[in-house]
Amino acid sequence: MSSKATTLLVITAHPDDEAFGMAGVLAKYAAAGVRTALICATRGEAGQSVGLAETCEALAVLRSAELRCSAATLGVGDLVLLDYPDGAAASWDLAALAGELAAHIRRIGPDAVITFDDQGITRHPDHRAVHAAVRRALESAPDHLGVRRLFYQVITCPEAASPEGPGLACVAPEAVDVTVDIAAFEPVKRAVLACHRTQIADAQGMLDRPAGSLAEEHYVLAWAADGWRPVAGAADLLAGLAGAV
């Protein structure tokens, strides 16, 4: 078995994306001894402030602190916060973002990467731009930057079954490749949602759901460098990777 710790990297657009999306998986794998990392492209200055920040600059500082609260709660070992303008994906230099992501991916050395699919769950342009930049970073390198698996976090149809609620871009249940049981880490996911105090209006809907309702996260395999495919009913994103726990 390899002596190198298996590493999982999540790449998002905004502080709080990880809380709504991949928090359970990050917490579960970190608790199992997997090295985890998180890259966020913006500091969230275009988000809600609920009266806690008077300027965009102050909100960026506050939301950055909220993300650090989240990362610490999840046991994330490596947090990277970039400074692309929130809500302005049309102005982003995707080649530059892809280059920055590539450099961080090389440094972190993840075995598996999780990001958004091309709809970004909420169809937010920033989410979709992060998807495009991650793909560009990985596909531009002959060795895919050493990444062995790329996953997209998704929500399932019917939309009412999603913990994030209706009106989002969903996938059919049969399209899901891996469903991770995060029931034991639901309290952690709820604590992470609570870290994002400025976004409580969005988070409250999930926090108000009954205990046991945030018990699964769904993932689609985009590709695997070695041709690996999850078996039906797969529940482990890292199954079969050397050094995985």
pLDDT digits (tens, 9 = 90+) for 1-53: 345 789 999 999 999 999 999 999 999 999 999 999 999 999 999 999 999 99
What pTM was computed for the model? 0.95
| Residue type for position 163 | P
What mean pLDDT value characterizes the chain?
94
The pLDDT value recorded for residue 233 is 92
Fold of domain 7-222: Rossmann fold (3.40.50)
DSSP assignment of 85-120 equals PTT-GGG--HHHHHHHHHHHHHHH--SEEEEE-TTT
pLDDT digits (tens, 9 = 90+) for 128-156: 999 999 999 999 999 999 999 999 999 99
Spatial neighbors of 230 by CB under 8 A, at least 6 apart, are 177, 178, 221, 239
Q: Are strands 149-154 and 216-224 parallel, antiparallel or unpaired?
A: antiparallel
Round to whole Å and give the CA distance between 52 and 65.
13
Give the mean pLDDT of 156-185: 84
